[in-house]
């Protein structure tokens, strides 16, 4: 279970505002990559915070509402066009950089999920592998990013029915790949990803 010890360690080193940063959407064939940055109030941490993947959809929604009420939150994206232009890793870092820049009050320490610190983030930072299972701030960011991106994909599913985005969120499920073959490529598909690229340029 994540806890507040990494944040407390940063505060003990003189930090005053610690933000957890996470992104979701590296693996899908369609849609943006979405990042969130969250600064928790240590005196009012939402109950039930955990790695978004370990929460039921209903619980995740409830915790999301609490995070939005009690914490400072910034959400940002990198578009399909940016993903195709600069690659998914750099695009996910760009979304993280934008999320940090969008916080209403600048943090002075970042806890970043993963093993890399985006090069555009020059604040004191710590990369935390599997951070959403260790840090409450990163767990909060993971929940915010996932809920936000799932909602985007649900909206896009209404405009482009048949791909199952309302349930697969753009990930390469068997039915999504079959729909790509049968229905073709939409403007929201990532052309640099092999299954999409292969359909566009087969033969």
| Contact status, residue 19 vs residue 103, Cβ threshold 8 Å | yes
CA–CA dist 178, 185 (Å, integer): 11
Q: Which residues, in sequence order, are CB contacts of 121 under 8 Å at separation 6+?
A: 96, 97, 100, 110, 112
Does 51 appear as a known binding residue?
Answer: no
SS3 3: strand
CA–CA dist 103, 148 (Å, integer): 16
Query: Of 149, 128, 153, whose CA–CA distance to 139 is shortest?
Result: 128
| Contact status, residue 15 vs residue 124, Cβ threshold 8 Å | yes
Does 22 appear as a known binding residue?
Answer: yes
Does 23 appear as a known binding residue?
Answer: yes
Which residues contribute to the annotated binding site?
Answer: 22-23, 113
What residue numbers does the annotated binding site for a divalent metal cation cover? 22-23, 113
């Amino acid at each position: 279970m994540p806890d507040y010890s990494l944040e407390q360690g940063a505060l003990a080193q003189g930090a005053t505002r610690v933000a957890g940063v996470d992104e979701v959407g590296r693996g899908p064939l369609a849609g943006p990559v979405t990042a969130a940055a969250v600064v928790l109030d240590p005196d009012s941490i939402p109950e039930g915070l955990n790695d978004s993947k370990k929460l039921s959809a209903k619980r995740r929604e409830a915790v999301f509402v609490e995070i939005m009420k009690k914490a400072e939150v910034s959400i940002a994206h990198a578009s399909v066009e940016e993903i195709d232009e600069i690659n998914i890793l750099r695009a996910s870092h760009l979304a993280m950089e934008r999320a940090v820049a969008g916080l209403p009050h600048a943090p002075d320490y970042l806890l970043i999920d993963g093993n890399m610190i985006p090069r555009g983030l020059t604040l004191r930072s710590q990369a935390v592998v599997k951070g959403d299972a260790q840090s409450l701030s990163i767990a909060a960011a993971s929940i915010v990013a996932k809920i936000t991106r799932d909602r985007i994909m649900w909206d896009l599913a209404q405009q482009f029915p048949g791909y199952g985005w309302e349930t697969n969120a753009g990930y390469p499920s068997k039915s999504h790949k079959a729909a790509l073959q049968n229905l073709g490529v939409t403007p929201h598909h990532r052309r640099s990803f092999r299954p999409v690229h292969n359909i566009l340029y087969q033969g």
